[in-house]
Structure 1
Amino acid sequence: MAEVTVISSTIVRPGNKDQPGREKIHLAPHDLHLLYLVYPQRGLLFPKPDPKTRFIPQLKAALSTALEIYFPFAGRLVKVDNHQDNTVSFYIDCDGSGAKFVHAKAESVSVDELLQSRGSVPHFMNLFFPANNVESRDALTSEILLALQVTEMKDGVFISFGYNHMVADGCSFWSFFHTWSNIFRTGSGHNSQPLALKDWSLDKIDYPVRIPVSEMERPQNCENPTKERVFHFSKKKISYLKEKANDETGSIDSKVSSLQALPSADMRRRLNPPLEKECFGNLAHLAVATTTVGEVLDHGLGWTALQISKSVRSQTNESYNAFAENWVRNVEVPKIGVGSRMADNSLIVASSPWFDVYGHDFGWGKPVAARAGPSNGVGGLLVMFRGVEEGSIDVHAILTSSLWSDALAIIKNPC
Structure 2
Amino acid sequence: MATEEKHLKVEILSKTHVKPQKPLGRKECQLVTFDLPYIAFYYNQKLLIYKGGVEEFESIVEKLKDGLKVVLEEFYQLAGKLDKDNDGVFKVVYDDDMDGVEVVTATVEDAETADLLKEEGTAKLKELLPYNEVLNFEGLHRPLLSIQLTKLKDGLAMGCAFNHAILDGTSTWHFMSSWAEICTGSKSISIQPFLDRTQARNTRVKLDLTPPEQQNGDGATATKPPPLKEKIFKFSESSIDKIKAEVNANPANESTKPFSTFQSLSTHIWHAVTRARQLAPEDYTVFTVFADCRKRVDPPMPESYFGNLIQAIFTVTAAGLLQANPPEFAAALIQKAIESHDAQAIEARNKEWESNPIIFQYKDAGVNCVAVGSSPRFKVYDVDFGFGKPESVRSGANNRFDGMVYLYPAKEGGRGIDVEISLEAGAMENLEKDKEFLVIEE
Give me the TM-score of the superposition, normalised by structure 1: 0.87
Match of 2:180 in 1: 181
Larger mean Cα displacement after TM superposition, 293-302 or 348-357: 293-302
Match of 2:195 in 1: 197
Match of 1:333 in 2: 359
Task: Look up the equivalent residue of 2:124 and give its one-letter code.
Answer: F
CA contact (8 A) 2:52 2:156 kept: yes
Relative distance call for 1:122 and 1:285 in structure 2 (3 A) is closer
The correspondence for 1:309, drawn from 331, 335, 345, is 335
Question: Deviation per CA, 1:305-336, whole angstroms, max 9, x where unpaired?
Answer: 33222222122111111111111112221233
Match of 1:354 in 2: 377
User: How far off its partner does 1:356 sit?
Assistant: 0.5
Match of 1:392 in 2: 416
Using the alignment, how far apart are the partners of 1:250 and 1:173 within structure 2?
Answer: 39
Relative distance call for 1:191 and 1:383 in structure 2 (3 A) is closer
Is residue 10 from structure 1 mapped to residue 16 from structure 2 by the alignment? yes
Match of 1:391, SS state, is coil
Question: Deviation per CA, 1:246-302, whole angstroms, max 9, x where unpaired?
Answer: 124535424211024662211111122211111211111111122354444333533
Matches within 5 A, 1:163-242: 163-186=162-185, 188-201=186-199, 206-207=203-204, 209-212=205-208, 214-215=210-211, 217-219=213-215, 220-222=218-220, 224=225, 225-242=227-244
Matches within 5 A, 1:29-68: 29-52=33-56, 54-68=59-73
Relative distance call for 1:110 and 1:78 in structure 2 (3 A) is same
The correspondence for 2:75, drawn from 66, 70, 77, is 70
Using the alignment, how far apart are the partners of 2:29 and 2:426 within structure 1?
Answer: 40
Larger mean Cα displacement after TM superposition, 215-224 or 270-279: 215-224
Relative distance call for 1:348 and 1:185 in structure 2 (3 A) is same
CA contact (8 A) 2:32 2:198 kept: no
Is residue 378 from structure 1 mapped to residue 401 from structure 2 by the alignment? yes
Task: Look up the equivalent residue of 1:182 and give its one-letter code.
Answer: E
Aligned-residue Cα RMSD (Å) equals: 2.7
Match of 1:115, SS state, is helix
Larger mean Cα displacement after TM superposition, 347-356 or 213-222: 213-222
The correspondence for 1:258, drawn from 246, 258, 261, is 261
CA contact (8 A) 1:120 1:230 kept: yes
Task: Look up the equivalent residue of 1:110 and give its one-letter code.
Answer: E
Q: How many residues align?
A: 399
Is residue 150 from structure 1 mapped to residue 152 from structure 2 by the alignment? no
Q: Tell me, which stretches of 5 or more residues in structure 1 are unaligned? A: 83-87
Q: Tell me, which stretches of 5 or more residues in structure 2 are unaligned? A: 1-5, 267-288
User: How far off its partner does 1:303 sit?
Assistant: 2.4
Match of 1:28 in 2: 32
Using the alignment, how far apart are the partners of 2:233 and 2:383 within structure 1?
Answer: 22
Using the alignment, how far apart are the partners of 1:299 and 1:170 within structure 2?
Answer: 33
Match of 2:407, SS state, is strand
Larger mean Cα displacement after TM superposition, 299-308 or 100-109: 299-308
Relative distance call for 1:221 and 1:253 in structure 2 (3 A) is same
Relative distance call for 1:316 and 1:402 in structure 2 (3 A) is farther
Match of 1:365, SS state, is coil
Using the alignment, how far apart are the partners of 2:135 and 2:350 within structure 1?
Answer: 21
The correspondence for 1:368, drawn from 379, 391, 397, is 391
Task: Look up the equivalent residue of 1:78 and give its one-letter code.
Answer: D
Using the alignment, how far apart are the partners of 1:299 and 1:38 within structure 2?
Answer: 37
Relative distance call for 1:218 and 1:336 in structure 2 (3 A) is farther
Match of 1:160 in 2: 159
User: How far off its partner does 1:357 sit?
Assistant: 0.7
Using the alignment, how far apart are the partners of 1:17 and 1:68 within structure 2?
Answer: 9
Using the alignment, how far apart are the partners of 2:190 and 2:140 within structure 1?
Answer: 30
The correspondence for 2:101, drawn from 93, 99, 102, is 99
Relative distance call for 1:384 and 1:193 in structure 2 (3 A) is closer
Using the alignment, how far apart are the partners of 1:360 and 1:266 within structure 2?
Answer: 21
Using the alignment, how far apart are the partners of 1:399 and 1:159 within structure 2?
Answer: 26
Match of 1:290, SS state, is strand
Matches within 5 A, 1:78-97: 78-80=83-85, 82=87, 88-96=88-96, 97=98
Task: Look up the equivalent residue of 1:302 and give its one-letter code.
Answer: E
Using the alignment, how far apart are the partners of 1:64 and 1:212 within structure 2?
Answer: 35
Larger mean Cα displacement after TM superposition, 241-250 or 63-72: 241-250
Question: Deviation per CA, 1:115-146, whole angstroms, max 9, x where unpaired?
Answer: 22xx73464112111121122112124x2211
Using the alignment, how far apart are the partners of 1:319 and 1:347 within structure 2?
Answer: 22
Match of 1:85 in 2: none
Question: Deviation per CA, 1:75-129, whole angstroms, max 9, x where unpaired?
Answer: 10113465xxxxx42111122531111212123111221122xx73464112111
Using the alignment, how far apart are the partners of 1:394 and 1:308 within structure 2?
Answer: 20
Relative distance call for 1:73 and 1:329 in structure 2 (3 A) is same
